[in-house]
Amino acid sequence: MKKIAITGVIGSGKSAVSSILEKYGKYVIYTDKINKSLLCDANYIAKLAKIFPKAVKDGTVNKSLIRRQILHNNAKRLALNELSHKEIEQRVEKIIDNFNGEEIFCEIPLIVESGMKDCFDQIWCVVADLDTKIKRIEKRDNVSSIDAQKIIQCQKKDNELISLSDIVIENNGDLNKLKEEVGRLICTAIK
């Protein structure tokens, strides 16, 4: 079985690529969805409360408060990453271990930070220009342009991800072009 990671900085369009892969009948693991599911796990929430005591109340997590804190406090961001990456990696490994297909894709934004880059046979990096990424983040997360730029600055840069990737996919907004490129990669790059 071939294991392929889909990565890229926030706003690059990883989810668009993953959605197209699913339309081609490919199985995609979404680490962001796994991360969201952790917010329903009482053990995880208790660990999160130790890092962000003001952001957890009666077992409910205030994600926007956590987001604001990690944008301005690098130590809190690193502590959150350490906690969540370990949990996510265990769940991804379990899904892969139980999968019986020829290839499995995993959308994983923080592939370097998670320590999971060596878990995959190939890494596909999705890139977009800065203005496109900022507009996507503003729209998706309902944040200002300044906050969108801060979010981008907290992650690895495109060049760092490109250097460890096998495939680079440009995604500046032409969906038809993106569909063609993903279809071509399915036929040529996976084999």
| Average of per-residue pLDDT across 13-29 | 96
* Contact in structure between 85 and 113 (CB atoms under 8 Å): yes
Instruction: Please state whether the predicted TM-score (pTM) of the whole model is above 0.95.
Output: no
Q: What is the pLDDT of residue 32?
A: 92
Tell me: the pLDDT tens digits for 46-95?
Answer: 999 999 999 999 889 999 899 889 888 989 999 999 999 999 999 999 99
Q: What is the pLDDT of residue 103?
A: 94
Tell me: the pLDDT tens digits for 144-185?
Answer: 898 888 888 877 788 889 999 999 999 998 899 999 999 999
Find all residues with CB under 8 Å of 178, minimum gap 6, and list them: 13, 16, 17, 20, 169, 171
